[in-house]
Structure 1
């Protein structure tokens, strides 16, 4: 099958004939893997990432760092080769820092972490670094990072677009200092500056000037990971000035990091238990984490499920009924597609709020969810900052993904309860969950 046919083929989403009862091992977190790669590349000594996610986004990050001179060696134990393809227990990446240099060309694909986290790294490189990517990446905002780096003294050629493609002219070092940015459209703008800040001569003080700030858990994740490699970080969460983050200059320590399972990628499997009135266990669910996906325990419980954290992992059970929900998802926006899919199958209306920034994600997720659920007979309308979902009987049809991995998994959730749903370009799940279709059918024993 050619690459083009894979992207245009329609995958028949499996219909669940009964309650699921499965244990699903979810591969490592994309957010942790890519932050870990950046910090290891900036370290003063080699480090390890164990059980990393191996997907399109993380391989793009690894290849980009290699283009800048970093050595990343991948190892898979012979006993775990089968699961290693998606970050199983046998896989580890050895990251050996080196002098960052250009000229280099970086393909960001459509990965927000790559296109936003690496321009500050490129500013520390010696030579020009060109960034390019998928057509959709040209539409995603980068102005927060571009404007901040310019204010800190970096030369960037982007023809005034504040978007890709662009070239960062690295000078081998960056003074750093105080900078103001509006991160209302993406918290990644702040994380991008913080991750490289220990290597800036003066560190950095980032002041967020916007009215809103989405996805705060991802900034908390960045701060926690910085502290784990020896950085000193002052933040609002620990008594610092509101909307201000400060990172002092310091060496970055090489660490041995084991990557947590990706809790956001666990969402469709937990949703399967909720939709079918079954049970799904996710091994190795952390008792304490900064991952936004941990909010699923509370959200899906409110929608009719129940969960327990045991030695086996997170055990989630559905009650056979799905309730609508009124919820602010501003801190966990990436969960919106899956929640919308479940809400479309509920017994009462739902309102999903605080996610206007999703219009700037891999696709305009609010418009896409509205179009695709309504295309199956649903009643979804956009609000200024979210969605209003009124459940109606749904029917089969094509569920388009817009090259967005979370749209593909959202359509698959609906397909559990609605016979005849076909997912267009399910291959886009390779962005963060390369074995999704195999994991999904195995869960259902199809």
Structure 2
């Protein structure tokens, strides 16, 4: 069962009085922003990052890179318009101390970077970060020649003793608990003396779209990457050593963070437009178009963005979310309001996320009158009439937005610690109430 959260201020989740009709500008992608920061820091020349997400996770990443000697200037873009960060790569250095918070991308992507620093880099974070799996990265780096002190925990806190370089080469990793283990090694791979060949040895590999995102972004900055999709060996990714280019990159909207707003249209039978939705993307959130359409909505992609419309009915769904596990809390919230049962499969790894998301969703929805049971790899949800009550978040941003979705249809839902949404979606309460105000 998920841990009992500490009592904090409660946010009355707004109840929708009618169909939502709004345009919502969703901030930039956390996944793209943090990968772009790492690649820009490892480049051989300065780069620009336009419309970056400013959230807890991305600011932790930026501050961590600064601690290792990278200069990141915040201002406007080279054309004088729009927020942008200019990243000036430099020699990575220690000693340094990195606060990862509870950000999976920071705790997993930066230890490989730290092996390239000239000196020790100490990593620490929130108490929950100590429980999140990191052994895949630690064991792989040791196999590649790095010295890491973690007192045998395979988890935080730890110290990477950088010596300015890493030999690299072939390495095996079981990424069954997180695809970030693979992405972490690939992102720094071009800077390793022999590059890197990552062979996944586990029986499952969750969130594969995030690895594809990593590969696409590596190629965009000049890296040579061989993948299973490009004719390579199944379960093997190879990155050739070489210099990375500085780029001028515009960050896409975070499609996973668009989920609660699309869900609002579905639940209320309304309409929400998300500007700048990309026609082609590696973001897992793009699958929302398919999933929420099957659950009763319809969507239209235009030059302006995505227009999503609810039909007034919400249907249950049987779906494998193994590649898009981060969407599970929002889908579970919608499923709890549906007219038929749902089964969400392929997400056993969510027990190791910001909290044990499967246990947390089961407990919180059931305490509002729901009927959710955990399965070996997911949830079975039987819709029941729900009532108000406190929806705990366990310091998990996607639990908070899941509670807000339920609150649209159920009066009296109060969200504990809604401020945790700042992890990836700054100003969520204001965006949420503004959306409803436009109805």
TM-score by length of 1: 0.96
| 121, 125, 128: which one aligns with 1:133 | 125
1:180-329 equivalences in 2 (<5 Å): 180-329=172-321
Q: Which secondary structure state, in structure 2, belongs to the residue aligned with residue 290 of structure 1?
A: coil
Deviations 1:318-363 (A, max 9, x none): 0000000000000000000000000000000000000000000000
Asked if 1:147 is matched to 2:139, the reply is yes
1:26-65 equivalences in 2 (<5 Å): 26-65=26-65
Question: Using the alignment, how far apart are the partners of 1:382 and 1:329 within structure 2?
Answer: 15
Report deviation, 1:312.
2.2
Question: Using the alignment, how far apart are the partners of 2:425 and 2:115 within structure 1?
Answer: 31
Deviations 1:156-211 (A, max 9, x none): 00000000000000010001000001000000000000000000000000000000
Contact 1:274 1:304 in 2 (8 A): yes
Report deviation, 1:76.
4.3
Question: Using the alignment, how far apart are the partners of 2:379 and 2:429 within structure 1?
Answer: 27
Deviations 1:343-390 (A, max 9, x none): 000000000000000000000000000000001000000000000000
| 90, 100, 106: which one aligns with 2:82 | 90
Counterpart of 1:15?
Answer: 15
Superposed structure 1 runs of 4+ greater than 3 Å apart: none
Report deviation, 1:237.
1.3
Deviations 1:210-263 (A, max 9, x none): 000000000000000000000000001111100000000000100000000000
Contact 1:152 1:176 in 2 (8 A): yes
Question: Using the alignment, how far apart are the partners of 1:48 and 1:218 within structure 2?
Answer: 22
Counterpart of 1:3?
Answer: none
Deviations 1:274-303 (A, max 9, x none): 000000000000000000000000000000
Deviations 1:91-128 (A, max 9, x none): 10000000000000000000000000000000000100
Q: Which secondary structure state, in structure 1, belongs to the residue aligned with residue 322 of structure 2?
A: coil
Unaligned runs of 5+ in 2: 1-5
Counterpart of 1:427?
Answer: 419
| 152, 158, 165: which one aligns with 1:166 | 158
Compared CA separation, residues 7 and 282, structure 1 to 2 (3 A): farther
Question: Using the alignment, how far apart are the partners of 1:304 and 1:406 within structure 2?
Answer: 22
Counterpart of 2:104?
Answer: 112
Unaligned runs of 5+ in 1: 1-5, 81-88
Contact 1:7 1:426 in 2 (8 A): no
Q: Which secondary structure state, in structure 2, belongs to the residue aligned with residue 331 of structure 1?
A: helix
Question: Using the alignment, how far apart are the partners of 1:424 and 1:90 within structure 2?
Answer: 34
Contact 1:48 1:93 in 2 (8 A): yes
Counterpart of 1:338?
Answer: 330
Question: Using the alignment, how far apart are the partners of 1:208 and 1:169 within structure 2?
Answer: 25
Root-mean-square deviation over aligned CA pairs: 1.1
Question: Using the alignment, how far apart are the partners of 2:383 and 2:229 within structure 1?
Answer: 38
Contact 1:7 1:427 in 2 (8 A): no
Question: Using the alignment, how far apart are the partners of 1:412 and 1:73 within structure 2?
Answer: 35
Counterpart of 2:409?
Answer: 417
Q: Which secondary structure state, in structure 2, belongs to the residue aligned with residue 128 of structure 1?
A: strand
Contact 1:278 1:319 in 2 (8 A): yes
Question: Using the alignment, how far apart are the partners of 1:175 and 1:26 within structure 2?
Answer: 41
Question: Using the alignment, how far apart are the partners of 1:416 and 1:66 within structure 2?
Answer: 41
Deviations 1:17-75 (A, max 9, x none): 00000000001000000000000000000000000000000000000000000000000
1:332-411 equivalences in 2 (<5 Å): 332-411=324-403
Deviations 1:126-174 (A, max 9, x none): 1000000000000000000000000001000000000000000001000
Question: Using the alignment, how far apart are the partners of 1:177 and 1:227 within structure 2?
Answer: 19
Report deviation, 1:90.
1.8
